Structure 1
Amino acid sequence: MVASLTVRRATRWQDSVRLLLLIDAAAKPPDEGDAAPADTVGMVRTQVRLQKLDFWVRYPDYLAFELMNEYEATPDEAGLLVLASEILESAEPDLRRFPMLRHKFGAFEELDDALAPLVERGLLRKTQVLGRTGQKRIVEHVYFLLERGHEVVGSLVQDAPALEWYVNRTKLVVALVDGLGGTQIKNRQYLLSDYADTPWRQYIAPITEQARTRLRQLKAAALMPTTDVNQEAS
């Protein structure tokens, strides 16, 4: 494990709520022919996509780096740089980070324990699509958001206002890569060597200072004022 990385673990409840909010933000209506439960309001295809979206929720500094990539590709979208600034010019990268392990296909964490309470309470259903007849290999995981799950999401912020950050963040992450599949998102995340070079089964280290340096450069080029996060903290 990387020595400088503090591994802060979420509780099972935190994981369950975060994934419910993420699935609600990412869910698309079922297509004709989808074998969805009758009370399905939306579905998310592939575990890879869900894992990669979750990574950006759990690593705000990597999300800010991706926002800066988008800004450089479309400089007229100054709001992207503002969003990156709000993340990096605060303590959020440390306060909101829940590290993930690097596996064969990038950031990964077993989801069954976190999803089980949601399934048991009738908020979600999940299924596995197997390969060709005679094969046992799972080729796709599908997550169905049920009516009850969507209703619970709508009431969560009222019951726990602190969850509003997660509601807004999951929507931002989904909007950033709307229409992209899990493999496409994975490929984008692999472009950062800090992520790609992490040894298997070790925690992916933060890139907060690297991201802040890049932010200062971009803001200087755009003639935008920069806030020193260390001065703010003091």
Structure 2
Amino acid sequence: MTVSGEVRRASRWQDAVRLLLLINASAQPVPPHLVGPAGAVGVVRTQVRLQKLDFWLRYPDYLAYELMNEYEAAPEETNLLDLAEDILSTDEPDLRRFPMLRHRFGAFEELNEGLAPLVEKGLVSKDQVLGESRVSEHIYYLLARGREVANDLAAQAPALQWYVARTRLLVAMVDGLGGTQLKNRQYLLKDYADTTIGQHIAPITDQARARLVQLRTAAANRSEEN
């Protein structure tokens, strides 16, 4: 949200660039059994996975909270707390937030508007797997030109380095998890799950910062005891 209470929205260009960098970071090698378009150098399978990754990119405070969850599961990985603090000790949660609506299956925003320029320019290709009565899977292919443009953007526009760093962090954090698993993880946070359908998901910055202080204090106490 903005100070005036209006919802802050990304421009079509911002959506396209964010999605291109996210797809570039998260795309996996195209498996032999999947018949992709000519020039495909990677693939992101399922709309759910792309939506859930995009949510964490658009809500840095939720990403920091998830990093703290990872830390509690593996307290020896103190760098996870450092990464969370990197996010929460700055204005990043406010400056980088682009709110998403809560739908039946969690955070959602139609991707077609942001993907359209990427498809038109031959950077990304979309495909669908049809079920008996509806689309059962959305597939997003990163094309060779898309990878080239993504890498050029990151090199030529210093302001985009934040997206490069955050998309890499996201991919490392969720390595091996599918879209449904990511959706279930996001629902574990009550603030997210309790958002009324059709309403924008609210930030949790203050809550995340308070939790970071608690975890830092607990870690310091353990260190003193040892």
Name the TM tier (shorter chain). Answer: over 0.9
Structure 1 residues 85-124: aligned runs within 5 Å: 85-124=85-124
Could you tell me which runs of 5 or more consecutive residues in structure 1 were left unpaired when the two chains were aligned.
225-234
> Which residue of the partner structure matches residue 37 of structure 2?
37
**Which residue of the other structure, out of 166, 187, 190, is the alignment partner of 2:187?**
190
**What CA distance in whole angstroms lies between the structure 1 residues aligned with 2:220 and 2:107?**
35
**What CA distance in whole angstroms lies between the structure 2 residues aligned with 1:98 and 1:47?**
19
Question: Alpha-carbon deviation of 1:5?
Answer: 5.9
Which amino acid counterpart does residue 190 of structure 1 have in structure 2? Y
> Which residue of the partner structure matches residue 59 of structure 1?
59
User: Can you list the C-alpha shifts for 1:32-63, whole angstroms capped at 9, x where unaligned?
Assistant: 12110121100000000000000000000000
Q: What SS does the aligned partner of 1:223 have?
A: helix
**What CA distance in whole angstroms lies between the structure 2 residues aligned with 1:119 and 1:130?**
20
Does 2:140 match 1:143? Answer: yes
Does 2:17 match 1:20? Answer: no
Give the conservation status (yes or no) of the 8 Å contact 1:39–1:146: yes
User: Can you list the C-alpha shifts for 1:98-137, whole angstroms capped at 9, x where unaligned?
Assistant: 0000001100000111100000000000011100xxx340
**Which residue of the other structure, out of 151, 157, 162, is the alignment partner of 1:160?**
157
Give the conservation status (yes or no) of the 8 Å contact 1:128–1:138: yes
Q: What SS does the aligned partner of 2:25 have?
A: helix
**Which residue of the other structure, out of 177, 180, 197, is the alignment partner of 2:177?**
180
**What CA distance in whole angstroms lies between the structure 2 residues aligned with 1:23 and 1:90?**
26
> Which residue of the partner structure matches residue 83 of structure 2?
83
Q: Count the aligned residue pairs.
A: 220
Give the conservation status (yes or no) of the 8 Å contact 1:5–1:205: no
**What CA distance in whole angstroms lies between the structure 1 residues aligned with 2:71 and 2:4?**
30
**Structure 1 segments (4+ residues) deviating >3 Å:** 3-6
Could you tell me which runs of 5 or more consecutive residues in structure 2 were left unpaired when the two chains were aligned.
222-226
Question: Alpha-carbon deviation of 1:223?
Answer: 2.1
Q: What SS does the aligned partner of 2:220 have?
A: coil
Which amino acid counterpart does residue 158 of structure 1 have in structure 2? A
CA RMSD of aligned residues (A): 1.6
Which amino acid counterpart does residue 146 of structure 2 have in structure 1? G
TM-score, normalization: structure 1?
0.91
Segment of structure 1 superposing worse, 5-14 or 87-96: 5-14
Indicate the percent of aligned positions where both proteins have the same amino acid: 68
**What CA distance in whole angstroms lies between the structure 1 residues aligned with 2:215 and 2:4?**
27
User: Can you list the C-alpha shifts for 1:144-168, whole angstroms capped at 9, x where unaligned?
Assistant: 0000000001100232110000011
Give the conservation status (yes or no) of the 8 Å contact 1:5–1:206: no
